[in-house]
Amino acid sequence: MPAFIQMGRDKNFSSLHTVFCATGGGAYKFEQDFLTIGDLQLCKLDELDCLIKGILYIDSVGFNGRSQCYYFENPADSEKCQKLPFELKNPYPLLLVNIGSGVSILAVYSKNNYKRVTGTSLGGGTFFGLCCLLTGCTTFEEALEMASCGDSTKVDKLVRDIYGGDYERFGLPGWAVASSFGNMMSKEKREAVSKEDLARATLITITNNIGSIARMCALNENINQVIFVGNFLRINTIAMRLLAYALDYWSKGQLKALFSEHEGYFGAVGALLELLKIP
Amino acid sequence: MAECGASGGGSSGDTLVKSITLPPDEVFRNLENAKRFAIDIGGSLTKLAYYSTVQHKVAKVRSFDHSGKDTEQDHEPPYEVSVQEEITARLHFVKFENTYIEACLDFIRDHLVNTETKVLLATGGGAYKFKDLIEEKLQLTVDKEDVMTCLIKGCNFVLKNIPNEAFAYQKDAEPEFRFQTNHANIFPYLLVNVGSGVSIVKVETEDQFEWIGGSSIGGGTFWGLGALLTKTKKFDELLHLASKGQHANVDMLVQDIYGGAHQTLGLSGNLIASSFGKSATADREFSKEDMAKSLLHMISNDIGQLACLYARLHGLDRVYFGGFFIRGHPVTMHTITYSINFFSKGEVQALFLRHEGYLGAIGAFLKGAEQDNPNQYSWGENYAGSSGLMSTSPELCLTQRARSGTFDLLEMDRLERPLVNLPLLLDPSSYVPDTVDLTDDALARKYWLTCFEEALDGVVKRAVASQPESVDAAERARKFRQKYWSKLQTLRHQPFAYGTLTVRSLLDTREHCLNEFSFPDPYSKVKQKENGIALRCFQCVVRALDALGWEERQLALAKGLLAGNVFDWGAKAVSDVLESDPQFGFEEAKRKLQDNSGIDLILGVFPFVRELLLRGTEVILACNSGPALNDVTYSESLIVAERIAAMDPIIHSALQEERLLLVQTGSSSPCLDLSRLDKGLAVLVRERGADLVVIEGMGRAVHTNYHAALCCESLKLAVVKNAWLAERLGGPLFSVIFKYEVPAE
């Protein structure tokens, strides 16, 4: 951020515009810096407002003639998995799950009627942070690259590890994770896993948890379409497919997981729309 | 405690300790007759349960066979007191680390005499691993039971049978522990078991429960990730690190993103926006403590959030937490409570269980005992034999904890008769028997603990004196003293060890300890003598009362009831009459009657009862089921009534016509818990339409029930014989409490 502000000053952004629409937490945090260093006045906008306006707008204009939204068919099957467009004909009510450093979950009832249902601190920042600590990686891309090669079942304790198979009493399949990082309680197992395995396990853990919370919120709010956005999902097909599968499996097909082509830009788009309103 | 033959292994059960020297009366008590074993083997802890009979010495009373003879013999006691062996049933639970399993099994095999048991019920993840070992060592078949079923069964059992089992925890609050009163109906409730993973179970009835959800982020995650990040191998050490950490160094908070102006999002700046959110950007190393703390928050918050979502979906407002992750550790309980409060906006309450570690073993045991129908009985926690909460708390210095936490015990006595609420309680769900909460009131607590410490010598002396023929009475009394003394010290440091601390629980603990060392009724001989003397005075006293005018008599009767020495200041009118009676050895009687229990009942209660009967009132006279201090017991009361009936036609006909009924209260305490009364008494109260309740004595009317609200008229009487209490209540020593209450409309 400091580099960007410096660039703005160097390139004299302030001579182009005097109003700079900004949203997100940084709009508040860096407001002073923008003013004093870059001579730029920020017009702060509510982040969730922008997010929603952004999504609805982008969906309405579409993506090269196609729908902005899509879903996964057969998400668990690597061969058969397909990304299919989804027309958000009846967008309301919609559960919007924004996965950034942290997660915010919003229930949207109409263009101007929405509320923040809840959030969780186990988000993209957690995945990235834990990966850095566990594997020594330095970029998000690197973390994802490692995760794509790892085997989380070495790290996690599965239902079948405890019960020798499915736990029928509770209807739990043997492949379900009983305890994330549960195998890491044992010294031998800790020494037997690779960085890739750890990265994968971190990704799975965070993703499954978000899916779980989203599913419970959807149930409590009586909403059956859930859209996942946010930069955590950028180039992160593993997470998206996992969310799609988990939501479908645990809700017995009642919930649909939707995604969006431009997952991380809605806040900015929303802010832009506000700017365009200003004469 | 136990000395190990080999050093204990790590938490992953690497090496088994082969031999240990266990003091037998400390850990595996009453093992010879043990039957019905159940075992719950978790990841690192084993809980063993067994059912055993305990032989007690009990003082029994029996009427002499008089066959119509006149009872005016001076030296003959009114009834005979004999000491007999009685067998009661007790459940024992022992908790120890898996490393000690082999040694413990050997110990059990060597001391077990009963060969009837053929099957042992096992549950828990570890049951797989140790099945063969158990079968080989104990020559029993191991039957595996489903872990969740056992957990729920155990949970239902403790919630119903152990008073103050559940509690809410609030760090930095006074008091930290808020114990909950047991409700008659505990269903439906949500149980969140946090072991390696999280299971969320909705319990609808005794036998109906459903797994409604879960999470893979649980204790195993904390332990696994914690081990990876901090290189700390032991779970308790991780918790210890966490208690010292600052999570804000590792987590990204809302204020870190917003720089302070977070009101727009409606969130507090201190809220964690992203767990471990700072560990990606900084180049520096993070301290173990900070990472452990962050991990703890991350996991606790997640569990709390999920629990709230499920609670909301199912319309429940209380959630019980169990599992090794919780384990009574203050930091964990605090973070979970905080999380629940936050995510439910205060609508859902997080509750913990004193005996959560034993739920699986209790449940496995109950499953095996089904044919005995354990639910038909009432059970009570035995304070002498139970270790109490927090005996394994990692907050204590680690080495101290390692030693004292090796074996943890729980003992529950099976009570002979089921216990229920008094039907006349105005609001059973809010009834709390105790007048003062010593866990809450620090001054009162200090006073009473010191009081009981100081009284110990006298109690020991009396115990020894009550068994003059016994060779080992002095030795047993010494052991009693040691045991009770150490309980008092435990309570000084951990007042919440057995639930809410009250004068009642201190008295009851003392009774349990006395019983433990075969001093079931130190006052039995004294009571026998007093009753004898009082009986001989009865007719004279009654004649003197009858001679009084109506109003004078009412006053005299009331004073006589007040457990004071009727001759000293109580019923002066009576003593005036008696004094003038040449036949009645007034001076002699006055000298001999010291302890007042005989007077209390025979010269105070019975004349009062007699007056009520004359007015046409029916009377139910309820006395203790078991001895406590010098209070009259039910069996003694039967004999006394029989003797009085022989002297007094009014009492005689009332007994014959069942207008005077004698019952037992179900209690063996100097205090009275109206929510745990003998079912027979409750039924009688309801059937006969009792509309006046009279409670007499400091234990029953002041230490307990002083504030009890009934839905009928009540009379609470006592003389305050304790200076401190008198001052507390606002009066001088020996003040009289004569509290007549009418229920509010």
Domains and their CATH numbers in chain A? 66-150+195-264 (3.30.420.40), 156-192 (no CATH)
Question: Number of residue pairs across A and B with CB atoms under 8 Å?
Answer: 194
% of chain A with per-residue pLDDT over 90? 46
Helical ranges in B569-633 per DSSP H: 572-580, 586-592, 597-598, 606-614
Query: Nearest CA to CA, how far is A158 from chain B (Å)?
Result: 9
What confidence tier does A5 reach under pLDDT thresholds 50, 70, 90?
confident
Predicted pLDDT of residue B570: 40
Predicted pLDDT of residue B576: 62
What confidence tier does A247 reach under pLDDT thresholds 50, 70, 90?
very high
* CA nearest neighbour of B291 among A140, A132, A184, A157: A132
Residues B405 and B386: their CA atoms lie apart, in Å, by 13
> How do strand B318-322 and strand B349-353 relate by DSSP bridges?
parallel
What number of residues does chain B have? 745
What confidence tier does A279 reach under pLDDT thresholds 50, 70, 90?
low
Of these residues, A47, A191, A221, A274, which one is catalytic? A47
| Helix pair angle (B219-230, A124-135), 10° resolution | 50
β-strand partners of B413: B90, B380
Determine which of A30, A43, A130 to mutate to test the interface with B (most B C-beta atoms within 10 Å).
A130
% of chain A with per-residue pLDDT over 70? 88
End-to-end CA distance of chain B: 58
- E-strand ranges in A46-167 read 69-73, 82-85, 94-99, 103-110, 113-120, 157-158
Predicted pLDDT of residue B404: 40
Flag if A101 and B252 touch (Cβ within 8 Å).
Answer: yes
Q: Tell me if B692 sits within 8 A of B701, measured CB to CB.
A: no
Query: Nearest CA to CA, how far is A88 from chain B (Å)?
Result: 27
Query: Nearest CA to CA, how far is B296 from chain A (Å)?
Result: 12
On chain A, the residues whose CB falls within 8 A of the CB of B306 are 212-213, 216
Predicted pLDDT of residue B121: 86
Counting as low any pLDDT under 70, the low residues of chain B are 1-26, 43, 65-75, 113-115, 258-266, 281-283, 390-406, 563-598
Predicted pLDDT of residue A96: 92
Flag if B274 and A47 touch (Cβ within 8 Å).
Answer: no
Predicted pLDDT of residue A194: 96
Predicted pLDDT of residue B568: 44
Q: By 3-state DSSP, what share of chain B in percent is helix, strand and coil, each rounded to 5?
A: 45, 20, 35
For the question of an ipTM over 0.95, the answer is: no
Does residue A145 surpass a pLDDT of 50?
yes
- Residue B345, helix vs strand vs coil: coil
Between B553 and A201, residue with greater pLDDT: A201
